[in-house]
Amino acid sequence: MTTTVALECTCGSVKGELTVVPSDLFHVHCLCCDCQRYAQYLNNEAVILDEFGGTELLQTYPAYLSIREGIDKVQAVQLTPKGIYRWHTTCCHMPVANTVKSSAVPFVGVSVKWMKFATEQDKLAALGPVTIKAFGKYAIGAMPDDVHPRFPLVYMPKILGFMLKGKLRGRHRPSPFFNATLPVAEVRQLF
């Protein structure tokens, strides 16, 4: 069942909505060093990272995400030359979503941190359980038993299918992060 989830940054300046379509998403727990470095860059690790240094993301299509307030307080950073664009708020340093460099790719990884749920049960009903648990080798402390040390390659065919379906249906746009093909805001490069 499709659900609409409200999005709001910690300080309330940036607001939006995400349409959650169960057939068009991957619910990811990522423990990679880049996600951890990103939280350090935002100087907001205590809020962003969980006890293992992990981040929860909902990977879906850009067309399902809208930002209706405060887009002027959203910027991106790129950690490495081939790295993704990591969009965040400038008001309260919250991760918003990740995209690739090209607006033509039907992919966005929305931070679960700024999704508003009344209860954990509501969250589970809307997003379902985490399906991909990746990069456990970078876990802070002991690696959780159920996390893959790197990326679980068994998901690659599903991800390729998701990309193909998104492309055929034109779900790469509209994207809140691109005006046609240009990023809507500065992309800071940390390299």
Nearer to Zn ion, 54 or 62 (CB): 54
Give the binding-site size for Zn ion (rule: CB under 5 A): 9
The CB-of-154 to Zn ion minimum distance in angstroms stands at 18
The CB-of-10 to Zn ion minimum distance in angstroms stands at 5
Neighbours of 63 (CB within 10 A): 18
Distance CA 178, CA 169 (A): 18
The CB-of-181 to Zn ion minimum distance in angstroms stands at 25
The CB-of-18 to Zn ion minimum distance in angstroms stands at 17
Question: Considering the rule CB under 5 A, would residue 49 count as an interface residue with Zn ion?
Answer: no
Among 5, 7, 9, 147, binds Zn ion (CB under 5 A): 9
Among 25, 32, 112, 132, binds Zn ion (CB under 5 A): 32
Which DSSP symbol is given to 50? Answer: -
Distance CA 136, CA 30 (A): 8
Q: In the range 76-135, which residues lie near Zn ion by CB under 5 A?
A: 89, 91-92
- Strand ranges inside the chain, DSSP E: 3-8, 15-20, 26-30, 55-60, 65-69, 74-78, 85-89, 95-99, 108-111, 115-116, 132-134, 178-179, 182-183, 187-189
Interacting residues toward Zn ion by CB under 5 A: 9, 11, 13, 30, 32, 35, 89, 91-92
